[in-house]
Amino acid sequence: MLVILSGVSGAGKDTIKKELMKRDSRIISLPSYTSRKPREGEEEGVQYHFITKEEFEKKIKDNEFYEYDLHHENYYGTSRKLMNDKIASGKIIVKDIEVNGTENLIKLLKNETKLVTIFLKVEKEELRKRLIERGDNLSEDEIQLRLGRLDYEESKISLYDYVIKNDEFEKTVQIIMTIIENERRIEKLQNGSRNNN
């Protein structure tokens, strides 16, 4: 099962993903490739595989990505090989992808993999506060760029199975855990009825 988490940068997706993995050992992450520089505390192969723009473009040419996107002037992409290996392991993959990537993955995988898509919604003023407090020293222009992106991301909300108002960390984590449990149950029931037919 692949659980896609979207929502603007600064919505706390990475912290939520980490907490989900801590609470349930069946949940794993799937680091994307990116050409952006690591932030403080990020490690190669944990949040992302960090490569250069040139290396990324070579991988695009070699058709190594299910999907990729240029986002805030950096590339981000989902490796076909890493994704296929992890799906085959039977674990619950939680992946953080922006809306364009989600749209592409839904088209590519909806008939092959159990997909659950979740959008985390944050108010604009709350997002501004989080971006300032996150300690990345973003300039006012960079903050404006991310705030501007919020309207675009929200315009795609109808793609998603679930929308969560992400204003309380513990509540958001609990809601996602419940969604995952229920979706697992539905998947088992559907597989059962398919096998009986």
Selected from 29, 59, 86, 98, the binder of ligand 5GP by CB under 6 A is 98
Burial of 52 (0-12, 13-18, 19+ CB in 10 A): exposed
Q: Residue 106 CB, nearest distance to ligand 5GP (Å)? A: 12
Contact between 49 and ligand 5GP per CB under 6 A? no
Q: What share of the chain is helix, strand, coil (3-state, %, to 5)?
A: 50, 20, 30
Contact between 19 and ligand 5GP per CB under 6 A? no
Q: Residue 197 CB, nearest distance to ligand 5GP (Å)? A: 36
Question: Which among 133, 144, 156 has a CA at the least distance from the CA of 69?
Answer: 156
| Residue among 72 and 185 whose Cβ is closer to ligand 5GP | 72
Residue 43 near residue 160 (C-beta atoms within 8 A) = no
Q: Residue 22 CB, nearest distance to ligand 5GP (Å)? A: 19
Contact between 96 and ligand 5GP per CB under 6 A? yes
| Residue among 37 and 61 whose Cβ is closer to ligand 5GP | 37
The residue to which tokens 């600064």 are assigned: 10
Contact between 101 and ligand 5GP per CB under 6 A? yes
Stretch that binds ligand 5GP, among 73-81, 120-128, 169-177, 181-189 (CB under 6 A): 73-81
Q: Residue 190 CB, nearest distance to ligand 5GP (Å)? A: 27
Q: Residue 124 CB, nearest distance to ligand 5GP (Å)? A: 16
3-class DSSP state of 148 = helix
Selected from 69, 86, 122, 160, the binder of ligand 5GP by CB under 6 A is 69
Stretch that binds ligand 5GP, among 50-58, 67-75, 84-92, 179-187 (CB under 6 A): 67-75
Residue 7 near residue 121 (C-beta atoms within 8 A) = yes
Q: What is the 3-state secondary structure (H, E, C) of 68-97?
A: EEEECCEEEEEEHHHHHHHHHCCCEEEEEC
Question: Which among 100, 81, 73 has a CA at the least distance from the CA of 32?
Answer: 81
Give dist(CA 123, CA 196) in Å, integer. 46
Residues binding ligand 5GP (CB under 6 A): 9, 32, 36, 67, 69, 71, 76-78, 96-98, 100-101
